[in-house]
Amino acid sequence: MTRVPAAPYIAPFATLILLLALGSILPGGLEWAYPIRTLAVCAVLWWMSRGVVRLRPSHAIQSILLGVVVFAIWVGPDYFWPTYRDHWLFRHALLGGAPSTAGPPGPLYVAFRVFGSVLVVPIVEELFWRAWMMRWLISARFEEVPLGAYAAQAFWITAVLFASEHGAYWDVGLAAGVLYNWWMVRTKSLADCILAHAVTNACLAVYVLVAGQWQYWL
């Protein structure tokens, strides 16, 4: 079998996006769609990507602090300005507006949502955006480009595309993308970016569950 160097970095993210697109036709509705998606992505991660994932951060405390800062940036506009996302920049046909604030479908969804957002999504997204795309935009032979190599075009294209992934939250997604990109350039460490991203998502999970701000998840 011909080796595809980018496959371990792209396949988990592609699986996630594909299953998101198919979410409406997966059996069991939203209650089961997220568990099915999470388990499928975990399987792809284990099968294809375990050889490239590094989970030993070299700047753990700083990565944790960065994750908390990104969380504060993520929820800050809505907390201090409740009508913020009513602006046309966040509500139009392309973005679809912010999700509903209604509660989740049930405990199974909540359990897998916490597990997926804290332990799975950070690995999947950091593999794709910071470990692959930032390097691939510098050279198609991305394996020859060191992690954290800086090129302005690659840095900003990755940040903008990362922002676009987050729909109506594109503005804070852009800020998060810039900070995560900067941290990759600063640390040269996939593990530190994964940790920062996981802390952001963990803080967001606690905020959603404690404050009932379900719109960040649905």
> pLDDT category, 151, cuts 50, 70, 90?
very high
Q: Tell which residue, 18, 12, 46, 103, has the closest CA to residue 26.
A: 18
Give the three-state DSSP class for 90: coil
pTM reported for the whole predicted model: 0.91
Are the C-beta atoms of residues 214 and 100 closer than 8 Å to each other? yes
Q: Tell me, yes or no, whether 2 lies in a domain.
A: no
Place of tokens 């394996």: 143
Q: Tell me, yes or no, whether 36 lies in a domain.
A: no
Q: Tell me, yes or no, whether 1 lies in a domain.
A: no
What's the domain count of the chain? 1
Average pLDDT over residues 27-51: 86
Residue 99 is predicted with a pLDDT of 57
Average pLDDT over residues 92-108: 62
Average pLDDT over residues 139-167: 96
> Measured on CA atoms in the order 162, 124, 212, 30, is the torsion positive or negative?
positive
Average pLDDT over residues 53-73: 96
Res. 185: pLDDT tops 90: yes
> pLDDT category, 121, cuts 50, 70, 90?
very high
3-state helix vs strand vs coil in the chain, percent to 5: 70, 0, 30
Average pLDDT over residues 79-90: 76
Are the C-beta atoms of residues 155 and 133 closer than 8 Å to each other? no
Q: Tell me, yes or no, whether 70 lies in a domain.
A: yes
d(CA 111, CA 20): 18
d(CA 95, CA 32): 25
pLDDT, averaged across the chain: 89
Q: Tell me, yes or no, whether 67 lies in a domain.
A: yes
Buried b / exposed e over 172-200, threshold 16 CB at 10 Å, is bbbbbbbbbbebbbebebbbbbbbbbbbb
> pLDDT category, 29, cuts 50, 70, 90?
low
Q: Tell me, yes or no, whether 178 lies in a domain.
A: yes
* Range(s) of the domain holding residue 107: 56-216
Q: Tell which residue, 130, 127, 120, has the closest CA to residue 182.
A: 130
Q: Tell me, yes or no, whether 22 lies in a domain.
A: no
Q: Tell me, yes or no, whether 26 lies in a domain.
A: no
In one-letter notation, the amino acid at residue 120 is V
Res. 163: pLDDT tops 90: yes
How many CB atoms neighbour CB 47 within 10 A? 11
Average pLDDT over residues 122-139: 98
Least confident of 12-16, 96-100, 208-212: 96-100
Average pLDDT over residues 161-180: 94
d(CA 135, CA 146): 7
Which has the higher per-residue pLDDT, 106 or 190? Answer: 190
